[in-house]
Amino acid sequence: MDFALSEQHELLKKTVRDFARAEVAPFARKWDEEERFPKEIVPKLAALGLLGIRIPEEHGGAGMDTTAYAICVQEIARVDGSLALTVASHNGLGTGHILAFGSEAQKKRYLPKAAAGEWLAAWALTEPGSGSDAAGLRTTAVRDGDHWVINGTKMFITQGSVGGFCVVLARTNSAASKQKGVTAFVVDHGTPGFTASKHLEKLGCRSSDTVELTFDNVRVPDSARVGEVDHGFTDTLKILDRGRISIAAMALGLGYGALDAAVTYAKDRKQFGKPIATFQAIQWMLADSKTELDAAELLTYRAAWLADQGRPYSKEASMAKLYASEAASRACNRAIQVHGGYGYTREFPVERHLRDAKICEIGEGTSEVQRMIIAKHLLLG
């Protein structure tokens, strides 16, 4: 659906789609089976501007808008959810936090390297004991003169072991309410005490780097603080709003990729002497997927447009993320059904799309959390 895309956005969509088909699709299955982060693709992503989508040109980025961000993630996800997750999290979370709330010195230090692919960005909020209750984090940062000492553990961190830096949320004021005593810090890879303590084995997005991080008396200067003291969680909520647009776009890409595969297979596969695409049962599954994905696309690009206009979009981002993620899972499941027994094998990409799509219902706020957010906007205005 190209209902609201400018000529520049149309060109971007074609460029990224061609790149994904040529440079990603042929290797996605292998990367998934090896559960290996494909470092070799990073320079190619950077050369296309996909690691600095929203970073201003003055800092070496492409200086694109939120709509472009969604397009890039969606087109990569059509062929590989893992790499789409890398692009989404690198741009939206790690670099996004510095772009939105970092000092000028931090922007000059981190953003050019992030855009060039020299440093991938990680973002550490979730902990083993705090998932949906994100403000319940227990990692601490204690001030020691002009430094801070960070201790704690983070879980499910994308780019946690391959990133060049990580933005970490830590509690700095135990006396304040949960949402008012948190501060963000940027920690360089290799800082003493900062380690990737465990690589996680996952259902899907298996070539995306996902780890547990440990902070053992990690000492950073006050210049590593991102934003104001005790204001980090409020900033985080704004980061998550834009991030939810990218997860909705990722879900769209996975859903459309599975639908494309199902249409192709239905036309080619013959049973009872004719293509299965001629059977009403198959047609209805394809029709349902197309209708739901197009509706999800409308929601997603409405949220992106609102963000680009500088208008409130928190509710719209949650609606897009909720509907797109669940519609994508349904579309992927139907695609496997269309493929029959072959869909259950790794010979066809639809099983990988289904595995990859599930994270879209969990990451950056579960479907249940999105419903809470939407209801809160409705009831409280």
Which residue numbers are catalytic?
364
Distance of CA 245 to the CA centre of its chain: 9
Written as one letter, the residue type at 357 is: A
Q: How many Å apart are CA 184 and CA 265, to the nearest integer?
A: 48
User: What is the C-alpha to C-alpha distance for residues 106 and 41, in angstroms, rounded to an integer?
Assistant: 26
Alpha carbon 301 to its chain centroid, in Å, reads: 16
* Angle of CA points 281, 282, 287, to nearest 5°: 100
CA distances to 166, 213, 320, 356 from 189, in Å: 7, 11, 34, 27
Contact present, 337 and 285 (Cβ < 8 Å): yes
Q: CB neighbours (10 Å) of residue 286?
A: 18
Return d(Cα 303, Cα 241) in angstroms, integer.
10
Identity of the residue numbered 163: G
* The residue to which tokens 């409130």 are assigned: 312
Q: Measuring CA to CA, which residue among 23, 207, 45, 62 is closest to residue 117?
A: 45
Q: Which helix (H) or strand (E) holds 139?
A: none
**How far apart, in whole angstroms, are the C-alpha atoms of residue 95 and residue 46?**
14
In degrees and rounded to multiples of 5, residue 65 shows phi and psi of: -100, -175
Cα–chain-centroid distance for residue 113? 20
Type of residue found at 37: F
Whole-angstrom Cα distance, residue 285 to residue 268?
16
Amino acid type, 218: V
Going through 260-367 in order, the beta strands assigned E by DSSP cover 270-271, 274-275
211, 162 contact by CB (below 8 A) = no
Tokens 């939206």 belong to 92
Three-state DSSP at 293 gives: helix
